[in-house]
Amino acid sequence: MFEKRYAQRLKHQKLTDLYRNPPEIARKEGPFIHMEGRTRLNFASNDYLGLGSDPAVRKMVAENFEAMGPSASSSRLVSGNFQMMREAEQTFAAYFGFEDALFFPSGFQANLALISTLFGKGDHIYFDKHIHASSVKGLALSGAAFSGYKHNAMNHLEKRLKSGGQGPRAVITEGLFSMDGDFPDIDSLSALKKTYGFLCVVDEAHSYGVCGKGGRGVGKTVADVGVGTLGKAFGLFGAIVLLPKLFRDYLINFSAPLIYSTALPEAHAKSAVDILSVIESSDDKREYLQGLSRSLKMKLVGAGFTVNGDAHILSVNIGDEKKTMELARNLYHDDILVFPARFPTVPLGQAILRISLTALHQYDHIQRLVDTLIIRHHP
């Protein structure tokens, strides 16, 4: 019975060009990725500052794990609440300008835990329709009423807020949208917050480390809670939630995904702090990345592509799923890896090529990408 349903759904995915079957990766090396017997230029990595590939960072992390061991061996509430972790959280809170912080094993878990626990029956949550799946899953679990507003459309959010109920309200957005590569309008969001009063959660998975002064992200002026993954610009794994002390206490007491899951090891906390000081002194990388992105966007727009994105994530609009897959396959054939984002990652019929740039890319790499895209898109 189950088998029949699974087989039918998979068949449907194949027929509609939505089937996923990721190829295996032999290894990654700087801006390159070795897979299926060939070395390819990698435009699908979130190691934005190249720290995950940096030998000094790797050594630092390896030494921490060697010294402290690879596992917390229990959940935070049993015997996994290490002093080192607490110090690391306080260091992160101070750096990003929040009252307190809490580590999670992944960004997905952080959003799920945070949103499903902080919100509940009687609350109304407004969310940008392009927020990450982990936040949406958190909403679905929360029991709160929720309504989406059009991507980055502050007038639509205001309409929703005006017609909404009287209970506690919150807004969820991202610091840099993971697929579109654009920023939210923080000033307008702040103005709406003043007028209507809501709690604001900003998921800065793609902006912490890379955007804002010292990589402090873009949402601090409006965010009550900031979420950052350490698996992207930090070149590590795990996640950090920046929040008021009361919220932290509440999550530790009521958040099942935190309570019933093995904590991150203390070696992780030490590594996160070590990497934070590298992040602080990475202005040169952040500036380089901005220049690279501006140049790539100009070249792509000049070649006639419709491109979104204002930072290290650029999305080339293709629309049709089949066409997008074909284009990505052709680029892959020419040893360039670009992620074709399709439904449900993006809305149906609005497939894109998601290009992520890292400080490891060079200008001749982006020229190669543009030249190949032009040939493959208009063969």
Ligand X SMILES: Cc1ncc(COP(=O)(O)O)c(C=O)c1O
What residues make contact with ligand X under the rule CB under 6 A?
106-108, 111, 132, 134, 174, 178, 203, 205-206, 229, 231, 239
If the CB atoms of residues 106 and 271 are measured against ligand X, the closer one turns out to be 106
Q: Where are the beta strands (DSSP E) in the chain?
A: 25-29, 32-35, 38-42, 100-104, 124-128, 145-149, 169-174, 199-203, 225-229, 239-243, 307-308, 313-319, 336-337, 339-341, 351-356
Q: How many CB atoms lie within 10 A of CB 59?
A: 10
- Least Å distance, CB 186 to ligand X, is 16
Residue number closest to ligand X, CB atom = 107
If the CB atoms of residues 355 and 373 are measured against ligand X, the closer one turns out to be 355
Among candidate residues 209, 174, 177, 208, the one with its CA nearest the CA of residue 283: 209
If the CB atoms of residues 44 and 84 are measured against ligand X, the closer one turns out to be 44
Alpha-carbon gap, residue 376 to 379, rounded angstroms? 5
- Least Å distance, CB 61 to ligand X, is 16
If the CB atoms of residues 134 and 358 are measured against ligand X, the closer one turns out to be 134
Contact 92, 272 (CB under 8 A): yes
- Least Å distance, CB 201 to ligand X, is 11
- Least Å distance, CB 18 to ligand X, is 18
Alpha-carbon gap, residue 297 to 306, rounded angstroms? 9
- Least Å distance, CB 203 to ligand X, is 5
Contact 25, 40 (CB under 8 A): no
Q: How many CB atoms lie within 10 A of CB 340?
A: 24
If the CB atoms of residues 111 and 372 are measured against ligand X, the closer one turns out to be 111
Alpha-carbon gap, residue 39 to 294, rounded angstroms? 26
Contact 305, 327 (CB under 8 A): no
- Least Å distance, CB 84 to ligand X, is 20
If the CB atoms of residues 206 and 285 are measured against ligand X, the closer one turns out to be 206
Contact 74, 81 (CB under 8 A): no
Q: Hey, what amino acid is at 31?
A: P
What's the Cα-to-Cα distance from 278 to each of 56, 176, 357, rounded to whole Å? 10, 21, 19
- Least Å distance, CB 87 to ligand X, is 22
- Least Å distance, CB 247 to ligand X, is 18
Structure tokens given for 275: 């990497």
If the CB atoms of residues 104 and 288 are measured against ligand X, the closer one turns out to be 104
Contact 181, 109 (CB under 8 A): no
- Least Å distance, CB 304 to ligand X, is 29
Cβ neighbours of residue 298 under 8 Å, at least 6 residues apart?
none
What's the Cα-to-Cα distance from 23 to each of 225, 231, 327, rounded to whole Å? 36, 20, 17
Q: Is 214 left (phi over 0), alpha (psi -120 to 50) or beta?
A: left
Number of residues that this document lists for the chain? 379
- Least Å distance, CB 250 to ligand X, is 21
If the CB atoms of residues 237 and 254 are measured against ligand X, the closer one turns out to be 237
If the CB atoms of residues 139 and 239 are measured against ligand X, the closer one turns out to be 239
If the CB atoms of residues 85 and 241 are measured against ligand X, the closer one turns out to be 241
